[in-house]
Structure 1
Amino acid sequence: MSENSLKKCVPIEIPDDNPFQNDVLNRKDNIEILTKFITSFEQSIVLCIDGGWGQGKTTFIRMWEKYLHQQSIPTIYFNAWESDYTDDALIALIGEIDLAAEKLAIQDKNEAEKSIKKIYGFAANFFKATMPTLANLAIKALSGGLTNADEVTKALSSLSESLVKEQINQYEQSRKTLNNFKEALSELARSYANGNQDTPLVIFIDELDRCRPDFAIEVLEKAKHLFNVDNIIFVLATDKSQLAHSIRAVYGQELDVRGYLRRFIDFDYLLPIPNKNKFINTLLEKLSLNNIVDIIFYGGVTIKVFIWDFIYIN
């Protein structure tokens, strides 16, 4: 390979034993402070790491994940964009939680597996309990072979009463199922933390802003409503400005996105903008462009200097 061969930009290596070995943007202090912050809560919270495209959000949470492992804090990484081909965000989230059991150092894997089975069962029951019943009304009326108008009216009246009762029963059943689901999830979180009540389970959700709009909204809803369990922390890594476009695509351009997101996100952390010189130098080195941009460009100025000046101006 020649000296000037170009390379693709590959993810930064993050060693398990030294997460900050390649921390050229000096993210260590930010991660240590955020760790103290999230571990000070006993309740479930949702923290958003907000940053623009290319500012290193994924690298940041991957480093943070490895750092938390060193602190014996269990984590789960969920790439929402890689999972938005599915029809249901809940199934995708539970699937990642299940897969994590194989990676985490859990003392009693049998207890964890029992909890996961409960969670799958309650999730299935929850779907059944929240299925719409309006379709059943038409099916029953049509399948009854009713032709007389008076008979149809009486039948629909009777079915309407039955429908109301059925909906009330389903609502009660869904609440019971949701409580059972959360209890099983709490048991699982304790299993992942090896029974330590003070250790949270941290679930990282990445690339939310790249998902199709309906899936991104569903992930937010499921994380906040179904997984609102003590000692479970959600960390979203996303560009909130891009996420806002997705939300408006579903609910309309006039929606107050900030107000909407406050329903799901408890705290925001704006990822510090990296030192531009250091950022550019690192990127050029990763892409093997250093030798190329050091050549004379115009009036005695190299391409590298031109790039620095252009970014500072803009």
Structure 2
Amino acid sequence: MARLYIPEPKITLYEDGFDGHDKLSRKTTGDKLSDLVERIDDPLVIALDGAWGSGKSVFLKCWVGEHLKHHGDKTQTVYFDAFQHDYLDDPLIALTSAISERIERDPESKSAKAWRIAKNAAPFLGKAALRLGTAALVGKAISLTGDEDGALNDIGDKLSEEGGDIAKSLNDFWKKEDGKRAAMEAFRSALVQLTAPDEQGSPTQKLVIVIDELDRCRPDYALSVLEIIKHFFNVDGVHFVLGTNLLELANSVRSRYGSGSNAEGYLGKFITLSMRLNNGNKHVGLKPLLQFSKNAKEEMGLVGNPLAEALDVYLELPRLNQSLSLRDIERLYSHCSVLHPFDTAWGGVLSNWMLAGLIILKHQSSKEFRALCLGNTRQIGLLETLGFDKLSFPNRDPLRVERHQLLSEFWNYIFNDGFRADQEWVNERHKQFMPDDLNRGSMHSVVLETARNKLGEVEVVPFGDD
């Protein structure tokens, strides 16, 4: 049975690394990221920038485990899926909970004791505190202890004791921000304890928090996450890695502050540096891309599917495989699960190659595909999309060259030369692919009928994580 999507890879967070999951040779990128967060003590916010569908989530889920294998004695990693939590009002509470799951596995550890102080302060820093005025209680609880260390250790008990005074403290809270500032100081002081600074104040332990899917969140939630990172976690030894598409994140800024806002400048206030995650093809070469395609067909039950095999021929084209993301390739294969391939008794192999080309055209340019369905064939840019307008074969496999030459001639025959019946295209080499009686006019009709009736009514929408 065929599947519409590639099943989610079974990655065990914090245990699995890149071994067995690194289909695109990205371990080197992971090593560079690890080196960066270990060498630098200043708080970093690193944007791992990649287009939608480039495999950011798989990379980051592997990286949090890979980093622990080599640096787990002095660094803790946390993975937080922001998109799964953006239905909540307050990202600080959700983020604090995710960190607690990692830090408090050993409740008696020094790190766990330090983090509990931050966790107790967190509710009084978020939106709930603004509504209820409870941050004033933090200031009162700390002031009752008489010293900073005592404040941090006793804060939980004092908050419980003073809990009945929430309503009474409401007016005082709005008159001054002392309570919230005290909560902020408690939170940051706990983070500093968590990094176990040496005598010079340099962290000996590090915390690296991965926030994934930030670009898929509601704009107000995504930007709140950035503000929380900047204001609450700005501590040496605490690093953030953001899995995001910076172009889309910039759109979130414009959604909040207007289309004329300086979105890139705004993001620059929060993000220290960015690392570009290759899109899964043009930087890693054709071989890893074809390996991904092979694995995708196996997982989707498409091995031996004539239409999927036809798509493979197109994926070998340099211009196309440099423009498609991994999600794009998955979506193309999804059509092979939905559509029935042509019977090889009609038209041989080329009929499915024709259908595969139309699938790519529809995916790459729905506008041009609609024009084709209306018969406006001279407006179609399929040749440019596939790279057939400037096709070259330096050091290419002879069989691959022959296939691409055949496809180039076929689509040039359809779109470039018009449909004059006096021009012949089918020669001896092409008879193995096309019936003898299929002339230009009938080929034109077949292409239009296929676009309108076989493919025009089907639309596969994106699905799943990056």
Alignment TM-score > 0.5, same fold:
yes
User: Take 1:216 and 1:235, find their aligned partners in 2: how far apart are those partners?
Assistant: 14
Aligned-partner SS, 1:54: coil
Q: C-alpha deviations, 1:231-260, integer Å up to 9, x for none?
A: 111000011111122221111111111100
Judged with a 3 Å threshold, the aligned counterparts in structure 2 of structure 1 residues 125 and 166 are, in CA distance, closer, same or farther, namely closer
Does the 8 Å contact 1:75/1:201 carry over to 2? yes
User: How much does 1:132 deviate?
Assistant: 9.5
Q: Structure 2 matches for 1:152-163, cutoff 5 A?
A: none
| Matching residue of 1:227 | 233
User: 1:109 & 1:85 partners in 2: Cα distance?
Assistant: 33
**Contact 1:130/1:174 (8 A) holds in 2:** no
Which amino acid is 1:303 matched to?
A: L
Select the structure with the greater relative contact order (CA < 8 A; seq sep ≥ 6). 1
TM-score between the two structures when normalised by the length of structure 2: 0.52
How does 1:146-225 map onto structure 2 within 5 Å? Answer: 169-170=176-177, 172-190=178-196, 197-225=203-231
Could you tell me which runs of 5 or more consecutive residues in structure 2 were left unpaired when the two chains were aligned. Answer: 134-171, 282-288, 322-384, 387-466
Q: TM-score, normalised by structure 1?
A: 0.75
CA contact (8 A) 2:78 2:208 kept: yes
Match of 2:311 in 1: 303
Quote how far apart the aligned CAs of 1:166 are.
6.9
Task: Measure the CA separation in 1 of the matches of 2:307 and 2:2.
Answer: 15
Partner in structure 1 of residue 259 of structure 2: 253
Q: Any idea what the Cα deviations from partners look like across 1:159-217, whole Å, max 9, x if unmatched?
A: xxxxxx976732x44333312210112223449xxxx9433111000011111111101
| Cα gap change, 1:86 to 1:130, in 2 (>3 Å) | closer
Deviations 1:133-184 (A, max 9, x none): 9xxxxxxxxxxxxxxxxxxxxxxxxxxxxxxx976732x4433331221011
Task: Please state how far the C-alpha of 1:279 moved relative to its aligned partner.
Answer: 3.6
| Sequence identity percentage | 31
Deviates more, 1:12-21 or 1:210-219: 12-21
Q: Distance in 1 between matches of 2:256 and 2:112?
A: 37
> Which consecutive aligned stretches of 4+ in structure 1 deviate over 6 angstroms post-superposition?
none
Task: In structure 1, give the amino acid aligned to 2:125.
Answer: F
Residue of structure 2 in register with 1:97 after alignment? 99
**Residues 5, 122 of structure 1: alpha-carbon distance in 2 compared, 3 angstrom cutoff:** closer
Mapped to 1, the partners of 2:117 and 2:44 lie a distance apart of 23
2 CA distance for matches of 1:49 and 1:17? 20
Aligned equivalents of 1:122, 1:76: Cα separation in 2: 20
Maintained 8 Å contact 1:293/1:304: no
Q: Aligned partners of 1:268 and 1:180: how far apart in 2? A: 30
Alignment partner of 1:86 out of 85, 88, 103: 88
> Offset of 1:34 from its aligned partner?
1.3
Local SS of the residue matching 2:87: coil
Structure 1 residues 201, 239: CA separation in 2 closer, same or farther (over 3 Å shift)? same
Whole-angstrom distance in 1 between the partners of 2:110 and 2:231: 25
The answer to whether the Cα contact below 8 Å between 1:7 and 1:288 also exists between their aligned partners in 2 is: no
Alignment check: 8 A CA contact 2:93 2:123 kept: no
What is the alpha-carbon root mean square deviation over aligned residues?
3.0
1:266-305 equivalences in 2 (<5 Å): 266-275=272-281, 276-293=289-306, 302-305=310-313
Task: Tell me which structure has the larger Cα radius of gyration.
Answer: 2
Match of 1:239 in 2: 245
Residues 46-125 of structure 1: pairs in structure 2 closer than 5 A: 46-71=45-70, 72=72, 73-103=75-105, 106=106, 109-125=108-124
Matched length: 269
Q: Which amino acid in structure 2 is aligned with residue 91 of structure 1? A: I
| 1:28 is aligned to 2:27 | yes
Q: 1:63 Cα shift?
A: 1.2
